[in-house]
């Protein structure tokens, strides 16, 4: 993806090496594809949409680079994370440059649509806010499900909404269509993230490319943990939280949580949240003001994202 779309001066090379490294990795690319798909509903010529799609993916990768520094994450998509490969200082600086190049690409390719950059900058700030709220959660033991949903909305879903909306903005569609596409992206992002939490515990370890229960063992707040906390009585809740600080092995801890989940049907509770947002996606698609002939494609795309096993 990197080499074809790159038009800018890539000097000094050290600053741009991490761009190539991360943009060339295999990822789902669901944000740029969302934008291209949305744009194709209004104009079959994707020339104008391509640089915006590239910018959205570049911005997403900027967030991954900086998040991996903050989380001390050693790997990403089965490869060394950028700060492990290039050092923390260069990862930080190159991340800043990714963010700026993304803004620049959008600015250059949407000069007649100032609303595009405006909305993108608001979204980019939302993503930072989501990451900040996520960091705050690490210091708290109990998070409500609405608080959690608000966090993943900001951290994950708004960018997908913005990608879908941008296709409509680029082709001067009215506010109603823009908002419908934005909300489709929000609900899609929420369903996606909830499924991600569930797959962390119940997915195919090999296909998912991560160790099962990785999030749980690191005591990351996930929909499963929050559903469990909601269901437990105060005494059990206390015991459950104490387990965060226990010195048992990872595998013992994981089994402790999984036993709880089984006993209280937590997986089913989490799936109810997933189903809720999935249904909202299909509801929006049925109402959305685009040519009916595109709807099966949109439905298929949504299904691909949220009915995944990896």
Residue 111 lies near a second copy (rule: CB under 8 A)? yes
Query: Does 99 participate in binding a second copy (rule CB under 8 A)?
Result: yes
Cβ pair 181, 161 in contact under 8 A: yes
Q: Verify binding: residue 70, a second copy, rule CB under 8 A.
A: yes
- Single residue of 24, 74, 75, 114 touching a second copy by CB under 8 A: 114
Query: Of 1, 6, 15, 143, which one interacts with a second copy (CB under 8 A)?
Result: 15
Exactly one of 1, 92, 145, 232 binds a second copy (CB under 8 A); that residue is 92
- Among positions 4, 11, 140, 293, the unique one binding a second copy when judged by CB under 8 A: 11
Indicate which single residue of 101, 197, 215, 269 sits in contact with a second copy (rule: CB under 8 A): 101
Tell me if residue 46 falls in helix, strand or coil.
Answer: coil
What lies within 8 Å, CB to CB, of 103 at 6+ separation is 55, 117, 120, 121
Helices and strands in the chain, H and E counts:
17, 2
Contact call for residue 129 and a second copy (CB under 8 A)? yes
Q: Which is nearer to a second copy, 74 or 204 (CB)?
A: 74
Q: Which is nearer to a second copy, 62 or 192 (CB)?
A: 62
Contacts of 102 (CB under 8 A, 6+ apart): 55, 56, 58, 59, 62
- Secondary structure (3-state) at 80: strand
Calpha distance 213→241 (Å, rounded): 17
Distance from chain centroid for Cα 137: 18
What residues contact 304, with CB distance under 8 A and at least 6 apart? none
- Contact pick of 28, 128, 209, 307 for a second copy (by CB under 8 A): 128
Site residues (vs a second copy, CB under 8 A): 11-12, 14-15, 66, 69-70, 89-90, 92-93, 96-97, 99-101, 103-104, 107-108, 111, 114, 117-118, 121-122, 124-125, 128-129, 131-133, 135-136
């Amino acid at each position: 993806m990197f080499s074809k779309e790159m038009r800018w001066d890539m000097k000094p090379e050290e600053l741009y090496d991490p761009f190539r490294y991360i943009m060339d990795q295999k990822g789902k690319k669901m944000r740029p594809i969302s934008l291209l798909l949305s744009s194709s509903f209004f104009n079959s010529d994707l020339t104008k949409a391509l640089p915006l799609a590239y910018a959205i993916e570049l911005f997403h990768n900027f967030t991954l680079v900086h998040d991996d520094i903050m989380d001390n994450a050693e790997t990403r998509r089965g490869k060394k994370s950028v700060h492990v490969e290039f050092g923390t200082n260069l990862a930080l600086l190159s991340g800043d440059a990714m963010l700026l190049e993304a803004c620049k690409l959008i600015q250059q390719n949407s000069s007649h649509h100032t609303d595009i950059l405006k909305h993108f900058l608001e979204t980019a700030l939302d993503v930072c806010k989501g990451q900040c709220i996520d960091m705050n959660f690490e210091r708290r033991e109990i998070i409500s499900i609405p608080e959690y949903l608000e966090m993943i909305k900001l951290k994950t879903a708004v960018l997908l909404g913005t990608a879908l909306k941008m296709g409509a903005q680029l082709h001067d569609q009215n506010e109603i269509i823009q908002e419908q596409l934005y909300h489709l992206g929000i609900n899609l992002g929420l369903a996606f993230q909830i499924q991600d939490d569930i797959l962390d515990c119940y997915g195919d370890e090999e296909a998912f490319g991560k160790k099962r229960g990785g999030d749980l063992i690191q005591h990351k707040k996930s929909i499963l943990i929050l559903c469990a906390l909601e269901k437990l009585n105060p005494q059990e809740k206390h015991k459950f939280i104490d387990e965060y600080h226990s010195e048992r092995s990872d595998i013992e801890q994981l089994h402790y949580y999984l036993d709880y989940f089984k006993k209280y049907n937590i997986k089913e509770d989490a799936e109810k949240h997933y189903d809720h947002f999935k249904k909202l996606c299909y509801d929006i698609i049925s109402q959305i003001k685009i040519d009916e002939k595109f709807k099966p494609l949109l439905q298929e795309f949504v299904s691909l994202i949220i009915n995944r096993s990896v």
